[in-house]
Every structure is written in C-alpha cells, then in structure tokens.
Amino acid sequence: MPEGDAVWRTAQRLAKALDGQTLVHTDFRVPQHATADLSGGTVVETVSRGKHLLTRIDGGPDADTRWTLHTHLKMEGSWRVYRRGERWTKAGSLARVVLDVGLRSAVGFQLGIVELLPREREDDVVGHLGPDLLGPDWDEEEAVRRLTADPARPLGEALLDQRNLAGIGTIYRTELCFLTGYDPRSPVGVVADPLRMVRLAHRMLLQNRQLPQICTTGDKRRGHSLWIYGRGTERCLRCGTPVERGELGEQRRVAYWCPSCQPPR
C-alpha cells in the first residue's frame, strides 16, 4: 500500500492536471455511481488526507451542488494522467474513474475505494483520521496524545493506525522504529520520547515527498536507501546482524527489525 508521501504526490499530479478545469466527460465505473455524471462541473482541487484522496468538484448537471470524489489506492490502485488521444498504459477494464477536461484525462485504475458524496459529508470518510503528517492540520502534540493513548499496544501497530498519525505505512513504520531503536513488537509505553519519534516521522515524510523512491539512509543507491525494510534475508546496514522478519496486527502486515539495534524492551 502506498505511503502517505506517494499519495501526496498523486494529489499534486491530479491538481496540476485538473484544478480549475471544466469536466467535459466523467465515467464512474463502479456500481454505486455508474449513472453519475459530473460533466460541466469545475474541478476545484485535489488534496491528500493521509492515504486518502479528495477531489472537490463544483456543479455539473446540478449547478448548486458541491461534490467530493473520495478515492483510496489500497494495494494496487493508481491515478494516471493522459493527454488527449494518448493511449492508456493499463487495460480499460481496470479503470474505475475517468475525469476528462478536454486536453487531459485523469484515470483511476484499480482503486480500492470510490465514493462520490456531497462536500459537507467529507468528515464521514476522513474525519476519523489522526493528524496528517503532510497536511496543513499537522499537530505534533495531538499525534503524540493519540499514539500514546494505549501504552500496552505494540508500537508497530500503533504507528500504522491511521487514527493516530495519518500517512505512515509499513516502510516508514519499519525505518522509524529502527532509527529510534525500538522493536516494533514492544509496547508503546516503553518509548522514552514519543515526541521525538513523532517529529522524526514528520521529517521523514517531508524530506521524501518530492522523491520517486523513499530514502532514509541518505544513500540513494539501489539496495542502500533503506536501513532494514525489505532486508528479511539480508544483514542490517548499520551493524551487520541478520535482519528478522515477521507479521504484526490483525491484518498481518509485514515488519522487519534488527535484533541488535532494536532489542526488545
């Protein structure tokens, strides 16, 4: 599943292609919105909220309505922008949404969530999220409060819970635990300085949001950009100890840790 910075970049691409443009054609290829038509509407903006995308559209056949298209990439989804007449790079059968503004079209493929709702109902779909690490609402004190609310919860689970901090995925979870020296299976309560951890998470996403590939080591060479994520059969880049791999939480999300750099506490 894409990390929050990748979703942020997707929002930037959609905004560049669509903001301020009039929709000449829309196609919602999901059963619940198959008959929806927002042609004639104006795309106001696309913003990210954690791992969620909100495309705000004013007007359409009902000129007084303000809509929000809520989409989520989940594991396989993507948004791609094409020039008029350009051939799609994925099969049409995988398309879930088409937003055509004439010279360009934005196509959402294999989207995990597609919801079209009145603007005033945005909180129904993203109101549960914690402070957005890349959003204007970022509040480090609130993020700390939410993260530490259950001291007995495994740290790795708490960091992935979007109700605590919106935008962290398995890569950032792994690297954040490594850089702060905590085993992701340890309880949140053992973290001596949760504010430092939250600030580091914020800084990591900010530094990577413009990059095509996440880098936490400062070395962008292939195989050197991450300390331990994806190194389940290799050695820790810092100390050389074999990296261990496991699964955490009800969703069994993959986790990595170095038993030397991240001793259980």
For residue 119, give the 3-state DSSP assignment.
helix
Q: Is the same domain home to 51 and 160?
A: no
CATH number reported for the structural domain that contains residue 21 in this entry: 3.20.190.10
Q: Which of 2, 154, 184, 194 is catalytic?
A: 2
Q: Is the same domain home to 147 and 114?
A: no
Which of 126, 159, 185 finishes a domain?
126
CATH number reported for the structural domain that contains residue 146 in this entry: 1.10.8.50
Which of 126, 150, 181 finishes a domain?
126
Q: Is the same domain home to 151 and 236?
A: yes
How many domains does the chain fold into? 2
Residue 1, pLDDT above cutoff 80: no
Q: Is the same domain home to 84 and 171?
A: no
Does residue 60 lie within any of the structural domains?
Answer: yes
Please report how the helices 140-147 and 194-208 are oriented relative to each other, as an axis angle in degrees rounded to 10: 120
209 flagged as catalytic:
no
Does residue 133 lie within any of the structural domains?
Answer: no
Q: Is the same domain home to 120 and 159?
A: no
Give me the domain span that covers residue 49: 4-126
Q: Is the same domain home to 121 and 61?
A: yes
Which of 92, 126, 160 finishes a domain?
126
Does residue 134 lie within any of the structural domains?
Answer: no
Instruction: Note the pLDDT of residue 60.
Output: 75
Q: Which of 51, 80, 146, 173 is catalytic?
A: 51
Q: Is the same domain home to 152 and 75?
A: no
Instruction: Note the pLDDT of residue 151.
Output: 98
Does residue 131 lie within any of the structural domains?
Answer: no
Please report which confidence band the pLDDT of residue 118 belongs to, taking 50, 70 and 90 as the band edges. very high
Q: How far apart, in whole angstroms, are the C-alpha atoms of residue 162 and residue 127?
A: 11
pLDDT, mean of residues 40-48: 97
Q: Which of 145, 199, 253, 265 is catalytic?
A: 253
- As a whole number of Å, the CA-based R_g of the chain is 20
Query: pLDDT, tens digit, for every residue of 222-249?
Result: 889 999 999 887 999 999 999 999 998 7
Task: Tell me which residue of 69, 18, 19, 63 sits closest to 41, measured CA to CA.
Answer: 63
Query: pLDDT, tens digit, for every residue of 141-195?
Result: 999 999 999 999 999 999 999 999 999 999 999 999 999 999 999 999 999 999 9
Q: Is the same domain home to 91 and 151?
A: no
51 flagged as catalytic:
yes
Does residue 40 lie within any of the structural domains?
Answer: yes
Does residue 77 lie within any of the structural domains?
Answer: yes
Does residue 27 lie within any of the structural domains?
Answer: yes
pTM of the model: 0.94
Q: Is the same domain home to 90 and 171?
A: no
Q: Is the same domain home to 9 and 115?
A: yes
Encoded tokens for 223: 């195989």
Exposed / middle / buried, residue 113 (Cβ in 10 Å: 0-12, 13-18, 19+): middle
Q: How far apart, in whole angstroms, are the C-alpha atoms of residue 152 and residue 140?
A: 21
Task: Tell me which residue of 116, 1, 7, 20 sits closest to 70, measured CA to CA.
Answer: 116
Determine what percent of the chain is predicted with pLDDT higher than 90: 89
Q: Is the same domain home to 145 and 251?
A: yes
119 flagged as catalytic:
no
253 flagged as catalytic:
yes
Q: How far apart, in whole angstroms, are the C-alpha atoms of residue 235 and residue 243?
A: 5
């829309």: which residue's tokens? 26
Q: How far apart, in whole angstroms, are the C-alpha atoms of residue 46 and residue 10?
A: 9
Q: Is the same domain home to 10 and 114?
A: yes
Does residue 264 lie within any of the structural domains?
Answer: no
Non-local (6+) Cβ contacts of 63 within 8 A are: 40
Q: How far apart, in whole angstroms, are the C-alpha atoms of residue 8 and residue 121?
A: 21
Q: Which residue has the higher pLDDT, 62 or 215?
A: 215
Instruction: Note the pLDDT of residue 113.
Output: 98
